[in-house]
Amino acid sequence: MKIAMDVSIMESCRTGTEEYTEGLVWGLHHAGTSVVSMGRGTSPILPDQPCLGLPHQRSRSWWQKWWWENLGLMKCPQDVHLVHIPYLTHPPRRLAVPTVVTVHDLIPFRLQDYHKRFHERAYFNMVRRRLPLASHLVAISQATMRDMQELFPELNSKVTVIQNGVHPTFFAPVSVATVDSAVREFGLFKHPRLLYVGGYDSRKNVQTLVNAANQIFRKRRDGQLILVGALNHPEVTRWVNTLNMQEFAVLTPSISRETLAALYHAADLFVFPSTYEGFGLGPAQAMVAGIPVVASNIAAITEVVGDAGVLVEPLSVEGWVEGICRVLDSPSLAQKMAARGRARAEDFAWKRVALQYHTLYSRLVR
C-alpha cells in the first residue's frame, strides 16, 4: 500500500503538528507502509532523518496556504491508494482516492481568541464546510472526539480515535555526558528543576505556572523553572521581571530534539498548565523519559497522564504550589509516578501507533 502524505506544513519542525507528521511517517515507514510526499515539490521523504530530511523553509503566507489547500492538494500523485492530510483542512472536492484528515483539536471553533480576525473566521468556516468531503477523520484523543461529536455531530460515523505518538528520540537512552552538557549550557545549577515545554499563547497558561514557581522557589530559596523556547517571547520576560525572579527562571531559545531529551532527564519535575489541548504531547514525552508530571486536570491531559501524574486545576496558583510541592516533598511518590509514566508511555511508541493507521488505511482502500 502506498499513501501520499501532505508535508506542506513541514517548515521548521518546531510545532506539534510537524512533530506529529514526522513521527507518523517514521512509524509508517517502519511498519512497512510506503509514503510519498505532497506539498514540498520534488523533495524526497527521508523517514529516519530529522524533519524527514526536508530543508527548513520560511512560513507560508496566507496566499500560499490558500493556493495549496484549494489547488495544490487536488493534484494527487499517481499510483497512490490514499492521501493523508495531517492537519485540519480538505480540498474543495473529493479526490480520486480516499482521504484521511487528522483533527488535532478544535481550538479555532472553541476559543474566541483564535478566530478574531476576518480572514481567520472565513478560513475556518471554509474548513467546516469541507470536512464532510473527507473519507475519514482521525481524532488524536477521546477529548477531541467529544469536541467533534458536539460541534460536528454529522461526522460521527467516520471519526476514529488514534492517540499521538512520541518520537523515538525520546525513547532512546540519554548519556550522563549529554545531560551534563545541557546542564552546563543552560546554567542549571539549582534544584528543584521544573521543566515546561510548549507554546506561550494564552491557553498555555504559563503565567499561572510562573507565579506558582515564584512562590515555591522563594520559600525554598532555591530552584529553577526552565521555559523551553521562551527566550524570544517578550511577554514571558515581562512576567519574570515583574516578579523579580530572574535568578530562578531559565529561558531557552528553540532547541534541538536531542537537547530537549537531555533537558527532560536533567529535570526533577515536568509541569504543564494548559487550559485547552487536543493531546498532551509534553506530558507524554516526559513520561517516556521517566520524569514525574504535574499537569492541568483538563480532559485531554488527563487522558494521557491518567494515574501516572498529579493533576491540578489549571488556573489555581495555590493548586499548582500544592501539587508541585506534594511531589517534591515525597521522593517515593515521585519514583512511583515516574515508573507508572514509563509503563504508560509504551502506548505512545510510534511503531505501535502507526499500526493503527495502517489498519485504518487498509479498511478505506479495500
Question: With helix as H, strand as E and coil as C, how does 185-213 read?
Answer: HHCCCCCCEEEECCCCCHHHCHHHHHHHH
Secondary structure class of 271 (helix, strand, coil): strand
Closest CA to 247 of 281, 278, 224, 228: 224
How many Cβ atoms from other residues are within 10 Å of residue 104's Cβ?
21
For residues 220-238, b (16+ Cβ closer than 10 Å) or e, as one string?
A: eeebbbbbbbbeebeebbe
pTM: 0.94
Closest CA to 161 of 3, 323, 279: 279
CA distances from 312 to 37, 202, 238 (A): 41, 18, 25
d(C-alpha 338, C-alpha 283), whole Å? 11
Tell me if domain 2-165+349-365 and domain 171-347 are identical in fold: yes
Provide the residue ranges of all domains of the chain, joining segments of one domain with +.
2-165+349-365, 171-347
d(C-alpha 162, C-alpha 73), whole Å? 24
Instruction: Give start and end residues of each alpha helix (H) in the chain.
Output: 16-30, 62-70, 107-110, 118-130, 142-151, 176-186, 206-220, 234-242, 257-266, 281-289, 299-305, 317-328, 331-345, 350-365
First to last CA, the chain: 10
Regions of the chain short of the pLDDT cut 50:
none
| Residue 93, burial from CB neighbour count under 10 angstroms (0-12, 13-18, 19+) | exposed
Q: Are strands 309-312 and 82-85 parallel, antiparallel or unpaired?
A: unpaired
Q: Which CATH number fits domain 2-165+349-365: 3.40.190.10, 3.40.50.2000, 3.40.720.10, 2.30.42.10?
A: 3.40.50.2000
C-alpha cell of residue 14: 518546531
Whether 115 and 138 have beta carbons less than 8 Å apart is answered as no
Whether 254 and 14 have beta carbons less than 8 Å apart is answered as yes
d(C-alpha 355, C-alpha 337), whole Å? 28
- Superfamily (CATH) of domain 171-347: Glycogen Phosphorylase B; (3.40.50.2000)
Q: What is the DSSP letter of 11?
A: S
DSSP β-bridge partners for residue 293: 270, 309
Predicted pLDDT at 43: 81
Residues 6+ apart with CB under 8 A from 140: 20, 102, 103, 104, 105, 161, 162, 163, 164, 278, 279
Closest CA to 87 of 11, 197, 187: 11
Predicted pLDDT at 44: 86
Predicted pLDDT at 58: 82
Predicted pLDDT at 37: 93
Predicted pLDDT at 190: 96
Whether 156 and 341 have beta carbons less than 8 Å apart is answered as no
